[in-house]
C-alpha cells in the first residue's frame, strides 16, 4: 500500500516537472524568437520612418486575420483570466501565431504597444495544449494557465521571480494551491534560462544613487506612488474608453484598426512624434539620466490606449514602464530625488497600479534595479496600487481584498449623499 502511494506520488511529481520543463522551453523559445523579431522590425521602422504611413494597411491585415481566423482568441489576456476562473474550452494554439504576427505588424508600422501580452498569450496557448496530452482535469488545467502566464512574463522581461509571482498575483483572488506556487517558479526559471540559452539580451536599467532613509524621502516616494497610481488609472480608463468607442461606432471589426491606423499615422508621422511608436525603450532608458517633458507620459497613454483600443496587438506593460519612467523623470525636476531613482520608482509603480500586482512589481523592481532600493519600491508600488482605482488594464481580472472593500465603502457613501 505504501509503495503504491509512493509510486503514485513519484509519477505525479515527475509528470509536473516534465510539464514545467516542456512549457518553459517552448514558451522561452517562442519569446526568444519574438524578441529577436521584434528588435528587427523595430530597427527597420526606425531606419525607414516612411513605413508608418502604411500603418492603416497593417491594421487592416491584423483586423482581417482576427475576424476570419481568430475570433475565438481575440480577447487575448482576458481569455486566459476567464478560462482560469471558469474553464470552458481549450485555448486554441492559433492564439500564439496570431498574436505574434499581429504584434510584429503593429510595431513594424509604428503603433504604440508593448510585448508582454504577446509573450503571455503565447505561453498560455502553448501551456493549455498539455491538457489533452496529459489528460488533465479542470483543476489541473488551471495550473497550466498559471504556468503559461509565468513562463511568458519571465521570459520576455528576464525577471523570473517577478514572472512567477505576477502569474499568481494577477489571479490572487481566484483559488490557487501550493502546487501552483512551486510550479510557477520552476517554469519561470526554465523559460528565463531558455531565453538565456538562445543568447537573447534584455534591456538593463540601473539606479546608481539610492537616497538615505528619512521621513522627507519617504514622503516624496509616497507622492510619486500616488501620482503613479493616478497615471495607471488614466492608462486603464483610456484603453477601455477607446476600445468601447471603436466597437460601438465601427461595426465591422477589421475596419477599426484600419481607421485607427489612419489617425495614428497622421499623428505620429505627420507631427514627428515617432518616439511614441513601438515600445519606446530608448525613451525609457534616457529618462533615467535626463528629465523628460511633463507631457510625455500623457502622450504615451493617449497613443497606447488608442492603438490597443483600435484593435492593434501587443501588450500594455512596456508602455506602462514608459509612462512611469517619464512621469518619475519629469517629477525629479520639482521633487528633490535623484532622477534615476525617481524614474525607477515610477517605472514599477505605474505597472503596479494598472495590474493590481504590487508584490510582483516590488520584486521586479529589485530584480531590475537592485535590492538597495527595495523598501522605497515597495512603498511606491503599494501606494500606487491603492490609488489607481478598482479597474485595471485587464477587464476580466478579479479584484477583491482591502482595496476592493475600500472602494465599495467609498461608492456606498457617495450614493448615500445623493
The mean pLDDT value of the chain amounts to: 93
Residue 234: is its pLDDT beyond 60? Answer: yes
Pick the more confident residue, 340 or 1.
340
pLDDT score at 414: 46
Pick the more confident residue, 274 or 175.
274
> Residues 6 or more apart from 27 whose CB is under 8 A from it?
119, 122, 123, 126, 127, 148, 151, 152, 155, 187, 191, 194
From residue 285, give the alpha-carbon distance in Å to each of 276, 279, 319: 14, 11, 13
Cα atoms in the 13 Å half-sphere on the side-chain side of 254: 12
pLDDT score at 400: 63
Go through the domains of the chain in sequence order and give each one's CATH number.
Answer: 2-197 (1.10.3080.10), 215-403 (1.10.3080.10)
Residue 30: is its pLDDT beyond 90? Answer: yes
Phi then psi for residue 341, to 5 deg, are -65, -45
Mean per-residue pLDDT for 168-172? Answer: 85
Banded model confidence at residue 174, pLDDT cuts 50, 70, 90:
low
pLDDT score at 415: 41
Long-range contacts of 172-175 (CB under 8 A, 24+ apart): 172/401, 173/398, 173/399, 173/400, 173/401, 174/84, 174/85, 174/142, 174/398
The set of cell numbers assigned to 134 is 496529459
Mean per-residue pLDDT for 55-61? Answer: 98
For residue 252, the tally of other CB atoms under 10 A from its CB is 9
Pick the more confident residue, 180 or 21.
21
Among the listed residues 167, 230, 227, 155, the one whose alpha carbon sits nearest the alpha carbon of residue 196: 155
pLDDT score at 168: 92
pLDDT score at 418: 43
Residue whose C-alpha cell reads 501550493 in the numeric block: 178
Residue 272: is its pLDDT beyond 80? Answer: yes
> Residues 6 or more apart from 367 whose CB is under 8 A from it?
159, 161, 162
Residue 245: is its pLDDT beyond 70? Answer: yes
pLDDT score at 406: 60
Could you report the per-residue pLDDT of 103-129, keeping only the tens digit for each?
A: 999 999 999 999 999 999 999 999 999
Mean per-residue pLDDT for 242-270? Answer: 97
Could you report the per-residue pLDDT of 3-15, keeping only the tens digit for each?
A: 788 888 888 999 9
Find the helix or strand (DSSP H, E) in which 220 lies.
Answer: helix 215-249
Banded model confidence at residue 413, pLDDT cuts 50, 70, 90:
low
Please tell me the total number of residues recorded for the chain in this structure.
418
pLDDT score at 254: 97
Could you report the per-residue pLDDT of 396-411, keeping only the tens digit for each?
A: 776 765 566 665 555 5
Amino acid at each position: 500500500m505504501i509503495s503504491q502511494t509512493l509510486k503514485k506520488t513519484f509519477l505525479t511529481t515527475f509528470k509536473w516537472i516534465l510539464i514545467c520543463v516542456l512549457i518553459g522551453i517552448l514558451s522561452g523559445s517562442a519569446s526568444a524568437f519574438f524578441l529577436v523579431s521584434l528588435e528587427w522590425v523595430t530597427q527597420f521602422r526606425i531606419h525607414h520612418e516612411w513605413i508608418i504611413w502604411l500603418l492603416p494597411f497593417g491594421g487592416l491585415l491584423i483586423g482581417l486575420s482576427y475576424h476570419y481566423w481568430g475570433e475565438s482568441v481575440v480577447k487575448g489576456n482576458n481569455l486566459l483570466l476567464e478560462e482560469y476562473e471558469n474553464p470552458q474550452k481549450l485555448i486554441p494554439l492559433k492564439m500564439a501565431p496570431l498574436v505574434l504576427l499581429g504584434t510584429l505588424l503593429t510595431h513594424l508600422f509604428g503603433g504604440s504597444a508593448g510585448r508582454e501580452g504577446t509573450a503571455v498569450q503565447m505561453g498560455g496557448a502553448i501551456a493549455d495544449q498539455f491538457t489533452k496530452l496529459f489528460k488533465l482535469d479542470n483543476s489541473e488545467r488551471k495550473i497550466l494557465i498559471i504556468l503559461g502566464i509565468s513562463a511568458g512574463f519571465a521570459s520576455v522581461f528576464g525577471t523570473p521571480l517577478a514572472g512567477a509571482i505576477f502569474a499568481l498575483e494577477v489571479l490572487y483572488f481566484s483559488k490557487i494551491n501550493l502546487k501552483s506556487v512551486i510550479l510557477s517558479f520552476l517554469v519561470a526559471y526554465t523559460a528565463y534560462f531558455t531565453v538565456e540559452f538562445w543568447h537573447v539580451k534584455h534591456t538593463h536599467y540601473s539606479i546608481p544613487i539610492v537616497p538615505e532613509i528619512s521621513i522627507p524621502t519617504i514622503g516624496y516616494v509616497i507622492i510619486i506612488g500616488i501620482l503613479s497610481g493616478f497615471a495607471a488609472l488614466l492608462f486603464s480608463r483610456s484603453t477601455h474608453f477607446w476600445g468601447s468607442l471603436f466597437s460601438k461606432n465601427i461595426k465591422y471589426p477589421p475596419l477599426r484598426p484600419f481607421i485607427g491606423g489612419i489617425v495614428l499615422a497622421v499623428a505620429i508621422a505627420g507631427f514627428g512624434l515617432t518616439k511614441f511608436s513601438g515600445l519606446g525603450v530608448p525613451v525609457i532608458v534616457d529618462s533615467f539620466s535626463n528629465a523628460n517633458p511633463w507631457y510625455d507620459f500623457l502622450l504615451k497613454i493617449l497613443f497606447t490606449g488608442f492603438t490597443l483600443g483600435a484593435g492593434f496587438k501587443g501588450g500594455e506593460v512596456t508602455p506602462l514602464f514608459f509612462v512611469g519612467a517619464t512621469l518619475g523623470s519629469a517629477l525629479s525636476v520639482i521633487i528633490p530625488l535623484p532622477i534615476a531613482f525617481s524614474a525607477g520608482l515610477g517605472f514599477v509603480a505605474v505597472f503596479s497600479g494598472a495590474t493590481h500586482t504590487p508584490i510582483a512589481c516590488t520584486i521586479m523592481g529589485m530584480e531590475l534595479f537592485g535590492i538597495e532600493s527595495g523598501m522605497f519600491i515597495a512603498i511606491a508600488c503599494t501606494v500606487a496600487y491603492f490609488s489607481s482605482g478598482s479597474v485595471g488594464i485587464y477587464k476580466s481580472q478579479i479584484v477583491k481584498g482591502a482595496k476592493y472593500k475600500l472602494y465599495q465603502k467609498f461608492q456606498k457613501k457617495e450614493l448615500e449623499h445623493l
